[in-house]
Structure 1
Amino acid sequence: IGIVLLAALTGFLVHHRADISVATSLALYLLVVVSVTAIGGPLPGVTAAVAAPLLANWYLIPPYHTLRINNTDNLIELSVFVSTATIVSAYVSIAERRAIEADEARRTTQKMAIEQNRLRKIALEAEMLAKADELRTAILRAVSHDLRTPLAAIKASVSSLRQEDVQWDDVDRGDFLQSIEGETDRLTNIVTNLLDLSRIEAGVVRPSMYATSVDDVISTTLRSLAGNSADVTVDVPADLPEVMADHALFERALVNLVQNSAKWSPAGTAVLVRGRSVGASVEVSVIDHGPGIPVDKRLQVLQPFHRLSDATSGGGLGLGLAIADRLIASMNGHLELRETDGGGLTAVITLPSVVGDAP
């Protein structure tokens, strides 16, 4: 391309050399040199920079067809052309090289970003698999103990009732049936909690948020606990604002908290469910006077299958508080564990209250 351009330009200038000055001709040659350098790179550019002044001297500067220069002005013009062409070609080459390097750096950065995203996805998948494996291990460990205990009690009661050589009176049969019913409820609660946890961990819980009456949620919670040995008192002011929540999820969280408090409450003491308005939020507290939870253990018990000790687990899987915490969080709320005045545990649910006219 460089040879063709130089040849074409030289032919044009030779044909019009009577009308075009040497300075103008050299300027046109300089344009060709720069173009060749930009298109072909340093080597073609240097070749064009050497060939152009030779062609100009041979065809355009008197005496023609020789390399001799008689006019000082022509010599100066040719020298300036050679210097300018060399400098411009060098700068064009440097700029082109830097552009290539920048393009390579950009492509390398893009490749690194793609690889980083790939590695991040792999790490995330590995973390999810590790958590899933950890969850499966915890489920198997907990279920192997906590399902076996009520099943053994049910089997023992049924086996006793089936004994034909023993005449059980109505009181004994009632005790056996009560044991079967209680252990069945216990199994139902375990399975329900496991299902709740699996739905939460799978991310399929989708709260339907709307204005919800706290008093209504507490009422349905107590109905759900009907037949349970829990003694619950309620303290909710009549003017307590509604909260933005999913009624069913709110109720399920409250059931878990009340069951947990009832399990640890001393005999003869009641679990208090209290509601109050705090700024733009509503707090619903579940208060007991049991042994409580040490401050350094309160975050731990909000993790699935975490129990303070197996000896004092009360036969639970250690899911109630964890499920309640996750259900409340799914509704943009917060669960905090505090110490009850005089000893015990106070579980405080905080949810945004409905301001103004709620749908």
Structure 2
Amino acid sequence: MDRGQLRVYLGAAPGVGKTYAMLAEGHRRAERGTDLVVGYVETYGRPRTEALLEGLEIIPRKTVVHRGAAFTELDADAVIARRPQVALIDELAHTNVPGSANEKRWQDVERVLEAGITVLSTVNVQHLESLNDVVREITGVPQRETVPDQVVRQADQVELVDITPEALRRRMAHGNIYPPEKVDAALTHYFRVGNLTALRELALLWLADKVDDQLEAYRADHGIAGTWEARERVVVALTGGPEGDTLIRRASRVAERGRGADLLAVHVTRSDGLAGTADPAHLVRQRSLVESLGGTYHQVVGDDVPTALLDFARGVNATQLVLGASRRGLLGQLFTRGVGVDTVARSGSIDVHLVTHEEIGRGRRAATHEGLTHRRRLAGFLLAAGCLPLLTFALADLRGRLSLPSDILAFLLAVIGVALVGGLYPALAAAVAGFLLLTYYFTPPFHTFAAAGGTNHLSALVAFVLAAVAVSAVVDVAARRTREAARATADAAVLSTLAGSVLRGGLSSSAQGGDRVLDTLLERLRETYALDSVTLLEREPGTPLTPDRQRDPRSWRVAAYAGDGPLATPDEGDADIPVGEGLSLVLRGHPLPAASRRVLEAYAAQAAIALRQQRLEEEAEEARPITEAERTRTAMLHTIGHDLRVPLATAMEAVARLSDPEAAPRGSERARLTSTARDALARLDRLVGSLLDVSRLRAGTLGTAPQPLAVEDIVPRALERLGPSDHRVDVRIPDGVPELLADPALVERVLVNLLSNARHHSPAGRRVRLTAGARADRVEIRVVDHGSGTHPAQHEQTLRPFQRLGAEESRTGAELGLTLARGLAEAMGGTLVPAETPGGGVTMILSLPTAAPAR
């Protein structure tokens, strides 16, 4: 059976018209004769949406009972049993009621699709898993219901239901989305123009990425290798040289000219793993620059650079390629055309920009690894000096029994041996010396440098020298490559360790402070090279870089260090690695080889990035209280504007009816209105008092008078103040609970708030339980309810000031009461933390110090 197709209507926010568009498409298909049913559609009481349900077959929903309450959900089994051609199933990200066959509705939709039924569904951009955190940062509202991006990306069709923020706000104001009493709050919070504009952009960008995926899949399926300029993509090629910064900025400007263009940087490395001319420090810095400009960094392997660049560019469907002009001199350009010219010749439909820079004509700075050590070269010279005379003496005794070619082969073997030990230069010296010895002792006439054998002897001797030079050159190149490979392997191991240290430091930085990454980095560098001290120095702002200032400790300040102690100036170290214009990595312990400087520069560049990240985290930490205060202020204004208005409006309405001379209510009606006004004003008084108390707590002006108190004396007073209720409180206080040290009035208010909150959430017939016990030098009072509870990840959020727990929380001041309870507990030296109740619900744990140590 073929799998059904999935069509998703994607919206930026509630109310844009996703369900309306889905139902309209359902009517169009039904009119064309398609067998179509409505599996699940949520109209939210919107008249125009409800009108579109008329004339469509609706599959009855199934009822799921959870904790004594009945809920309706999609009946996927009934849809599959009905076997229509198309099913309309709303709200793809919906979380099913516990007890359902699947946790998420998209899983039910998967079952329907597997049955060969086409599904039309809807989802908002804030419910996409990858954008959940971004939406929360924009709107301040966490989304508990999410759907994996892959589910929507794999849909056969995704249609964006778009509407401008202004039009959506007008639709909201006309009452077409939410009831009138919710319109003001929605317009001033979630449905602000800025929020809606950001959500709209997120939806457009997400859909653009899906369209890109579809385009790439189409090009791959049809074998299309050419570039389709559907979207500008600019690729900049980096060699690892200092000119890369100029190229990146130029490519960024090219990308900015085409709005929405992607910027990609690519570096081609050799397949043998050798470093070549690339400088790791430059690449680290340039990668950071690319990412700061909104681009991405890539690294590919290839021995033919033009081919590798163009393969990458065509693979990402790039439209423009930015290269730097050749750094080679005129002599070098006479022998090869260069990467730029070859790339232009093969680029085809890709535009290639050759950018001039300050490094033109300075040549490539090749790696300076020597093939062999000085000790081995000296050993080669000594071997030549000792071996050739001995070989001459031995062959002289055998002059009558060996021919000249045999003598030449013996000397050739000696030269090869010298080449294997000492490389090119000792072998070259041995070849010349062997040539002279052969000519003098073994070529007639003997004991003269004149060869009587004619061209044959002379050709043999020249061939001997050329063979000796060639063999020694090959040995020297092999030794050089071996050392380069060993150096590259060592550098790779060090850099791998560096990356692992940064990663581990980054993972722990959130828990141990932002400076953990930088400290780990410097300590790893010190351990790797066995140094005494590693210091990252930062030049004081405004200090010019002169020799005198370089040595003046007042010109520098220590940003971070590892080891014995920090250094005050760069001159105090054995090595100094400048990083940009204001930083310097100073090393002390022992001199380091020049070959290590490339890796040291990579360390220095990474240290600069870590320092910048640390500074950004410090700035973010400094701004967090301001952000929190702003969030609290905004939420408090909402609380005042909404929560105060409800009891105030209730009281005003009751008073107006009591004072209306025409209505003149009497008897029970007058008593009811009077009671309503009294309750509303009392509710208003409690809320205003809580707001004032929270303000005093935040300002630190709430005084306390702690004294020894017995738990069994406090709880009855709190229950009496709580008043009668349908929920009875089951109090369990064992004997031997020590007295606690607290303010009587404050601890009573805390218990009243906790019990009131627990009663509100407990279902009918379930008691609220209050228990007490001692733990070390603390007394713990637990208030337990068996309500619907919250997810453990949301527990802490319930105690934040002015934090609403969800759309269903319509009571006034309950969340403020929990905030006030925590603040009062902390003011008395205690704590208040939520925990999950076994079997469902939330347990609030109030911990206060004991009046005397427990015995």
Same fold (TM over 0.5): yes
Superimposed CA distance per residue, residues 26-81 of structure 1 (whole angstroms, 9 cap, x where no aligned partner): xxxxxxxxxxxxxxxxxxxxxxxxxxxxxxxxxxxxxxxxxxxxxxxxxxxxxxxx
Contact 1:190 1:317 in 2 (8 A): no
Match in the other structure for 1:136: 633
Distance in 2 separating the partners of 1:192 and 1:356: 35
Q: Which amino acid aligns with 1:210?
A: Q
Match in the other structure for 2:844: 347
Contact 2:782 2:845 in 1 (8 A): yes
Alignment match of 1:274 (pick from 766, 771, 774): 771
Q: Which amino acid aligns with 2:706?
A: M
Q: Which amino acid aligns with 2:787?
A: G
The 5 A counterparts of 1:319-358 are 319-355=816-852
| SS of 2:815 mapped into structure 1 | coil
Residue 759 (structure 2) pairs with residue 265 (structure 1): no
Q: Which amino acid aligns with 1:105?
A: P
Distance in 2 separating the partners of 1:203 and 1:236: 33
Distance in 2 separating the partners of 1:212 and 1:182: 32
Residue 701 (structure 2) pairs with residue 253 (structure 1): no
| SS of 2:801 mapped into structure 1 | coil
Distance in 2 separating the partners of 1:313 and 1:326: 23
Question: What percentage of residue pairs aligned between the two structures are identical?
Answer: 34
| SS of 1:274 mapped into structure 2 | strand
How far did residue 123 of structure 1 move?
8.3
Alignment match of 2:700 (pick from 188, 198, 203): 203
Match in the other structure for 2:796: 299
How far did residue 144 of structure 1 move?
0.6
Change (3 A) 1:174 1:340: farther
| SS of 1:252 mapped into structure 2 | helix
The 5 A counterparts of 1:278-289 are 278-289=775-786
Contact 2:801 2:815 in 1 (8 A): yes
Larger proportion of helix: 1
Deviates further, 149-158 or 226-235 = 226-235
- So what's the TM-score if we normalise by structure 1? 0.61
Change (3 A) 1:353 1:183: same
Superimposed CA distance per residue, residues 257-290 of structure 1 (whole angstroms, 9 cap, x where no aligned partner): 1121122223444432221223432211112222
| SS of 1:208 mapped into structure 2 | coil
The 5 A counterparts of 1:238-249 are 238-249=735-746
Q: In terms of Rg, which structure is larger?
A: 1
Match in the other structure for 1:105: 553
Distance in 1 separating the partners of 2:724 and 2:667: 21
Distance in 2 separating the partners of 1:148 and 1:348: 32
Change (3 A) 1:311 1:123: closer
Distance in 1 separating the partners of 2:698 and 2:727: 29
Change (3 A) 1:269 1:162: farther
The 5 A counterparts of 1:84-163 are 104-105=552-553, 109=557, 127-163=624-660
Match in the other structure for 1:212: 709
Superimposed CA distance per residue, residues 161-185 of structure 1 (whole angstroms, 9 cap, x where no aligned partner): 2233335342212221221122122
Structure 1: tracts of 5 or more residues without a match: 1-99, 111-119
Match in the other structure for 1:93: none
Change (3 A) 1:101 1:282: same
Match in the other structure for 2:676: 179
Distance in 1 separating the partners of 2:654 and 2:726: 20
Distance in 1 separating the partners of 2:720 and 2:555: 65
| SS of 2:641 mapped into structure 1 | helix
Distance in 1 separating the partners of 2:791 and 2:619: 38
How far did residue 301 of structure 1 move?
0.8
Distance in 2 separating the partners of 1:230 and 1:179: 22
Q: How many residues align?
A: 253
How far did residue 299 of structure 1 move?
0.8
Match in the other structure for 2:667: 170
| Aligned-CA RMSD value | 3.4
Distance in 2 separating the partners of 1:150 and 1:220: 27
Change (3 A) 1:300 1:124: closer
Deviates further, 143-152 or 344-353 = 344-353
| SS of 2:804 mapped into structure 1 | coil
Superimposed CA distance per residue, residues 192-228 of structure 1 (whole angstroms, 9 cap, x where no aligned partner): 2111110111122344333222222223323332367
Distance in 2 separating the partners of 1:345 and 1:329: 20
The 5 A counterparts of 1:39-118 are 104-105=552-553, 109=557
Match in the other structure for 1:189: 686
Match in the other structure for 1:232: 729
| SS of 1:273 mapped into structure 2 | strand
How far did residue 122 of structure 1 move?
9.6
How far did residue 232 of structure 1 move?
3.2
How far did residue 127 of structure 1 move?
4.8
How far did residue 104 of structure 1 move?
4.9
Contact 2:710 2:740 in 1 (8 A): yes
Change (3 A) 1:228 1:190: farther
Change (3 A) 1:317 1:237: closer
Contact 2:757 2:814 in 1 (8 A): no
Distance in 1 separating the partners of 2:659 and 2:728: 34
Q: Which amino acid aligns with 1:286?
A: V
Distance in 2 separating the partners of 1:181 and 1:227: 17
Distance in 1 separating the partners of 2:749 and 2:829: 16
| SS of 1:277 mapped into structure 2 | strand
Contact 1:142 1:305 in 2 (8 A): yes
Larger relative contact order (CA 8 Å, sep ≥ 6): 1
| SS of 1:318 mapped into structure 2 | helix
Distance in 2 separating the partners of 1:107 and 1:217: 64
Superimposed CA distance per residue, residues 271-315 of structure 1 (whole angstroms, 9 cap, x where no aligned partner): 322212234322111122222222111011111111111332323
How far did residue 317 of structure 1 move?
6.0
| SS of 1:308 mapped into structure 2 | coil
Distance in 1 separating the partners of 2:621 and 2:835: 34
Superimposed CA distance per residue, residues 217-244 of structure 1 (whole angstroms, 9 cap, x where no aligned partner): 2233233323677643422234321112
Larger proportion of strand: 2
- So what's the TM-score if we normalise by structure 2? 0.27
Change (3 A) 1:197 1:247: same
Q: Which amino acid aligns with 1:171?
A: S
Change (3 A) 1:246 1:108: farther
Contact 2:727 2:766 in 1 (8 A): no
